[in-house]
């Protein structure tokens, strides 16, 4: 049986807060506490979370920029952390990334052609011969022109820069692209341009995405499955359409409820959420969401719920989904 494109097993990553005094160790913050999921080829996965959910840390671990404190990242069945440098170079051809900031993700001192061709230069020596052809093709596939390769990033708008970043991610013909908030920094009228390009490329080039976003509409447009993260753990998974239509976990429900809707009436149509009980779970034991959850009971504060199947194809980490 072919291994999934990407499999993440029990990833843990902790950071230490900078310490106030030299004799005290910084407080440990668990950015990720035991995250696991798998992505099959062709089934793009969305990760939804707000700040503090650990989604950016997850992106860095999946790409191999940092080592997890525990757990493994398996790309096409191989552990990135264990791969020897030559094999890692081959693997990286199949795994590329698009970043959030269209300005910061392109080196302002390099021309676009050099930027887009960078992964090719580093990872695919064999393709050097038709480098400029491949760069031109990549630029065309994101709706830009081959002549744009001569220009500098600052000559382009935010949406165009993000498309350049996508062209760069595509050039080694990766199987998986990790996209971390790819459109959050763009104007609304431009977001759709970039998302349309991403969706078209998924079909044409057989690219699967790991798409990270706080925006449910973006996730809905691009992905097939979704995982909702809260405070370093996955709280719900399932097919995107199903989860967004009928979220099972109280946090997913809160996310859906909070999303702005085009309804007039000075917010009278909104249900004011019950004031959260405010009592945090016993440190490290109960459900992380308990202090904000309107359904929280005593059991929630004492026992952390496991991510389990509560409906066909739907998993949620809640005692009372």
Partner 1 sequence: MALLEVEALGVVIDSPRGPLEILRDVGFALESGRILGIVGESGSGKTMTALALMGLLPPGARAQGSVRLGGRELLRLDERALCRLRGDRVAMIFQEPMSALNPLQPVGAQIAEPLRLHRKMPAAKAAAEARRLLARVHLPDPDRLAAAFPHQLSGGQRQRVMIAMALACGPDLLVADEPTTALDVTVQAQILDLLVELVEETGMSLILVSHDLAAVAETADEVLVLYGGTVVEHAPVAAMLRHRAHPYTQGLFAARPATGLFRAIPGSVPDLAALPPGCRFADRCPLAIAACGDGPPPLGLVGPGHRAACIRLEAAAATAEAS
Partner 2 sequence: MSAVAERGRPARRRRVFRHWGLVCGAILTALLLLIALVSLVWTPHSATAIDLTQRLLPPSPRHWLGTDHFGRDIASMLMVGAQNSILVGIVAVAIGVALGVSLGLLAAAQGGWAEEAAMRLADFTFAFPAVLSAILITALLGPGAVNSIIAIGIFNVPVFARLTRGAARAIWTRDFILAARAAGKGGLRITLEHVLPNIASILIVQATIQFALAILAEAGLSYIGLGTQPPFPSWGRMLNEAQTFLFLAPRLAIFPGLAIVAAVLGLNLLGDGLRDLLDPRLRRF
Q: Rounding to the nearest 10 degrees, give the CA dihedral for residues 40, 43, 44, 45.
A: -70
Judged by CB under 8 A, which of 22, 84, 85, 278 binds partner 1? 278
The listed partner (partner 2, partner 1, none) that binds 157, CB under 5 to 8 Å by sort, is partner 1
| 272 touches partner 1 (CB under 8 A) | yes
The count of other CB atoms within 10 Å of the CB of residue 164 is 24
CA 94 to chain centre: 17
CA–CA separation, 69 and 259 (whole Å) = 34
What's the min distance (Å) between Cβ of 213 and partner 2? Answer: 16
- Residue 20 or 86: the one with the smaller Cβ distance to partner 2 is 86
Residues near partner 2 (CB under 8 A)? 63, 65, 88-89, 92, 95-97, 99-101, 104-110, 115, 118-119, 121-123, 153-154, 165, 168
Contact 179, 105 (CB under 8 A): no
The residues that bridge with 254 in the sheet, in sequence order, are: none
Stretch that binds partner 1, among 84-92, 100-108, 112-120, 260-268 (CB under 8 A): 260-268
CA–CA separation, 67 and 212 (whole Å) = 19
At residue 296's C-alpha, the angle toward residues 280 and 228, to 5°, is 85
The listed partner (partner 2, partner 1, none) that binds 101, CB under 5 to 8 Å by sort, is partner 2
Structure tokens at 261: 């809707």
Stretch that binds partner 1, among 28-36, 86-94, 112-120, 266-274 (CB under 8 A): 266-274
The listed partner (partner 2, partner 1, none) that binds 160, CB under 5 to 8 Å by sort, is partner 1
Phi and psi torsions of 108, nearest 5°: -65, -20
Chain residues in the site for partner 1 (CB under 8 A): 50-51, 157-160, 187-193, 195-196, 214, 217, 220-221, 254-255, 257-267, 269-270, 272-273, 278
């Amino acid at each position: 049986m072919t291994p999934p494109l990407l499999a993440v097993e029990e990833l843990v990553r902790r950071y230490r807060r900078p310490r106030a005094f030299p004799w005290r160790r910084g407080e440990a913050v668990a950015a990720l506490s035991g995250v696991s999921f798998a992505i099959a080829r062709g089934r793009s996965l969305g990760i939804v979370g707000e700040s503090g959910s650990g989604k950016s840390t997850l992106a860095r671990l999946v790409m191999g920029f940092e080592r997890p404190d525990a757990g493994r990242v398996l790309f096409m069945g191989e552990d990135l952390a264990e791969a020897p440098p030559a094999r890692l170079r081959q693997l990286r051809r199949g795994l590329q990334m698009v970043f959030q900031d269209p300005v910061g993700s392109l080196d302002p001192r390099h021309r676009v052609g050099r930027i887009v061709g960078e992964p090719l230069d580093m990872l695919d020596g064999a393709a050097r011969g038709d480098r400029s052809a491949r760069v031109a093709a990549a630029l065309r596939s994101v709706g830009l022109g081959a002549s744009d390769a001569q220009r500098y990033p600052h000559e382009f708008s935010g949406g165009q820069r993000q498309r350049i970043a996508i062209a760069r991610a595509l050039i080694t013909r990766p199987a998986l692209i990790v996209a971390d908030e790819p459109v959050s920094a763009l104007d609304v009228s431009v977001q759709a341009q970039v998302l349309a390009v991403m969706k078209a490329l998924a079909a044409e080039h057989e690219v699967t995405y790991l798409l990270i976003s706080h925006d449910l509409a973006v996730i809905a447009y691009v992905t097939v499955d979704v995982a909702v993260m809260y405070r370093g753990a996955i709280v719900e998974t399932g097919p995107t359409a199903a989860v967004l239509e009928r979220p099972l976990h109280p946090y997913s429900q809160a996310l859906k409820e909070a999303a702005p809707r085009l309804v007039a009436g000075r917010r009278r149509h909104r249900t004011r959420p019950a004031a959260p009980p405010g009592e945090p779970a016993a440190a490290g034991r109960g459900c992380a969401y308990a202090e904000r959850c309107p359904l929280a009971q005593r059991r929630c504060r004492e026992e952390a719920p496991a991510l389990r199947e509560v409906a066909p194809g739907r998993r949620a980490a809640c005692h009372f989904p």
